[in-house]
Structure 1
Amino acid sequence: MNKKIKEILNSLTLEEKASLCSGVGLWQTRPLEEKGIPEIWMADGSNGVRIMKPVNQERKQDTSDFLKVTDLTQNSPTITNQYEAVCYPSGASLASTWDTELIEEMGEALGDECRYFKVNLLLAPGINIKRSPLGGRGYEYYSEDPYLTGKVAESFIKGVQKTGTGTSIKHFAANNAETLRINMSSDVDERALREIYLAPFEIGVKNAKPWTVMSSYNKVNGVQMAENRELLTDILRDEWGFDG
């Protein structure tokens, strides 16, 4: 860890550390300007920057707009009040090219667009393994093949982060269905977990060093991912060396 970051962390009170786990609105972290910690702006997504138009000069979007959404067939602000941005091919289409150089080039273009919108962190790539035909987000993900998925993710991350924009590899791990995803448990034996579900993340984390990793919504073998010490600490940090 950078020496300056260590010094800042050591100077924080418990309350200030806890505040860094919260946000301001939906898409930015809470700053501690007196300690030299700025807010971090985030945006979706894997095949194009998705960000709402500003409601004032300081904020790119207003949380209350999202709370008004009840029917996506109406003039929802999430649909009608967004910046126009380039729409790139879906994850499935990208992986079908087998062209890692092209995907890295696309990532660089996405990173440049993020910088234009003053976005610090792109919440992508999504690299879950396609398992269920009923998974509504399957088009976002790259492949059923762990190696291909990992190499595509590696190229995407390298391209985006060339520009100084961070990435968030997601959803770690075994988030392979959308129905009841917050409550369900993906029960996976050790070999399948290592060879199928963790393999793409291992390739992406070790080879491309994404700034962040987003934990998945589901439980894995009965333990909620956001508090899964075996996966988040023992494997991700200690074994693979993730320091983001």
Structure 2
Amino acid sequence: MHPKVKITMEDVRNRKFTLEELVAQLTIEEMAELCVGTSRGQAAVVGNAAQCVPGAGGETAALEDRGIKNMVLADGPAGLRLTPHFRSTLEGELLPGGEVFGDQVNPLPKDAPEGTVDYYQYCTAIPIATTIAQSWDMGLIETVGEIVGKEMQEFQVHLWLAPGMNIHRNPLCGRNFEYYSEDPLLTGKCAAAETRGVQANPGRGTTLKHYAANNHEDNRMFTNVHVSERALREIYLKGFEIAVKESRPLAIMTSYNLLNGIHTANHVELIQSAARDEWGFDGLVMSDWYTSIDITGETRKYPISSSPLCIKAGNDLQMPGSQQNMDDIIAAIYEEGEASEELLTLADLQFCTLHILNVYLQIP
């Protein structure tokens, strides 16, 4: 390879060069940017941090000179969660109003500026996970996934932040309705069927979440879940294992909680040993939103998950992303981190970048 040849994704698609050769040319700063979502501030609303598709959960960074464009990630679980009605100028500048968060809708201004264009993104509301799991009909669930996948194509969404597949263990968990069942086998089979349906549409993928042992919502970012290895494998991981082996999802999302004292986003055994080495998962692993960003400023028993340790563990993509995430990763590579265990090698960062771009290759 001539050192002056600047490799692009188009070159990789055309098999002139390998993805590994492209990654080898990227700078530390470029790779850090790819491994962090595009919301560089800390004020973005959770689940609404994308600009390309209003109302989408977030997007990945682009390197235009390398032919790498954004991947758009949209939340679920009952279909795509997008802004149903929004306005922009003729130049494409997004105007305020129309945003949806929970059951609140930010109203559109009554007097629209001259040249305003109205856009609509009405998505199909599919039944919640607990309901479709009660059907025991995997063909039906696969059809549900196909519906979502077709709308992802229509609205230019690449990864669906679903299905949610945590196990029903606590009746007070506020998001049990998003999850299929108390049974790991049924959970895995349902998630695999829904993933097959979504991914029957070329270039669209699911994100299995929340990995793992995320069983209640109270203090969910700082809960330390203690689980024996047998219980972990037989109850909390089994559904993920089934879905990975049977449907090859494009992504997995780690959870907020700590697992036996380690944040799941920093957990090498969970991400690398189990998902990648044992089950053969070959997609990208992303964090849940704000996992590695301190949005409270409060002193707690456990700190937030470490941004460099996300990279070291193989948690490839940190969402929605902040400048601090990038700065911490870059400092850890240049051995400027405060804690020695958080220092990174170039190979650590290249490993995560390769996972992200490998998924990008599957998107038209």
TM-score over 0.5 for the pair? yes
**How do 1:199-218 residues align onto structure 2 when only pairs under 5 Å count?**
199-218=238-257
| Structure 1 position 240 matched with structure 2 position 270 | no
- C-alpha separation in 2, matches of 1:125 and 1:49: 11
Q: Residue 130 of structure 1: CA displacement?
A: 0.7
Q: Which runs of 5+ in 2 are unaligned?
A: 1-12, 40-48, 50-57, 108-118, 284-364
- C-alpha separation in 2, matches of 1:213 and 1:144: 20
- C-alpha separation in 1, matches of 2:175 and 2:103: 19
- C-alpha separation in 1, matches of 2:281 and 2:95: 31
Q: How many residues align?
A: 236
- C-alpha separation in 1, matches of 2:184 and 2:152: 28
- C-alpha separation in 1, matches of 2:229 and 2:64: 44
Distance 1:227 1:33, change over 3 A: same
Q: Residue 83 of structure 1: CA displacement?
A: 3.2
TM, length-normalised to structure 2 = 0.61
| Structure 1 position 98 matched with structure 2 position 136 | yes
- C-alpha separation in 1, matches of 2:124 and 2:103: 23
Structure-1 residue corresponding to 2:34: 20
Distance 1:47 1:33, change over 3 A: same
Q: Pick from 105, 128, 149: which aligns with 2:166?
A: 128
- C-alpha separation in 2, matches of 1:91 and 1:190: 27
Distance 1:89 1:4, change over 3 A: same
Consecutive aligned runs of 4 or more in structure 1 exceeding 4 Å deviation = 57-62, 72-75
- C-alpha separation in 2, matches of 1:61 and 1:24: 19
- C-alpha separation in 2, matches of 1:32 and 1:86: 33
- C-alpha separation in 1, matches of 2:149 and 2:93: 20
Q: Which amino acid aligns with 2:123?
A: A
Q: SS at 1:181's partner residue?
A: coil
Distance 1:100 1:29, change over 3 A: same
Deviations 1:212-240 (A, max 9, x none): 10001111011001110110111111111
Q: SS at 1:24's partner residue?
A: coil
Q: Which amino acid aligns with 1:43?
A: A
Q: SS at 1:183's partner residue?
A: coil
Q: Which runs of 5+ in 1 are unaligned?
A: none
Distance 1:74 1:210, change over 3 A: closer
Q: SS at 1:23's partner residue?
A: coil
- C-alpha separation in 1, matches of 2:81 and 2:224: 30
Q: Residue 23 of structure 1: CA displacement?
A: 2.0
Distance 1:12 1:55, change over 3 A: farther
Structure-1 residue corresponding to 2:106: 76
Q: Which has the larger radius of gyration?
A: 2
Q: Residue 59 of structure 1: CA displacement?
A: 7.5
Distance 1:125 1:59, change over 3 A: farther
Distance 1:142 1:196, change over 3 A: same
CA contact (8 A) 2:195 2:249 kept: yes
- C-alpha separation in 2, matches of 1:190 and 1:155: 27
CA RMSD after TM alignment = 2.5
Structure-2 residue corresponding to 1:149: 187
- C-alpha separation in 2, matches of 1:9 and 1:61: 37
Distance 1:42 1:82, change over 3 A: farther
Q: Residue 28 of structure 1: CA displacement?
A: 0.9
- C-alpha separation in 2, matches of 1:210 and 1:59: 34
Structure-1 residue corresponding to 2:237: 198
Q: SS at 1:97's partner residue?
A: coil
Q: Which amino acid aligns with 1:15?
A: E
- C-alpha separation in 1, matches of 2:127 and 2:182: 18
Q: Pick from 149, 164, 178: which aligns with 1:111?
A: 149
Q: Which amino acid aligns with 1:183?
A: F
* 2-11 or 185-194: bigger deviation: 2-11
CA contact (8 A) 1:50 1:82 kept: no
Q: Which has the higher helix share?
A: 1
CA contact (8 A) 1:41 1:118 kept: yes
Q: Residue 166 of structure 1: CA displacement?
A: 1.0
Deviations 1:165-194 (A, max 9, x none): 111011101111100000001110011000
* 208-217 or 48-57: bigger deviation: 48-57
Structure-2 residue corresponding to 1:49: 80
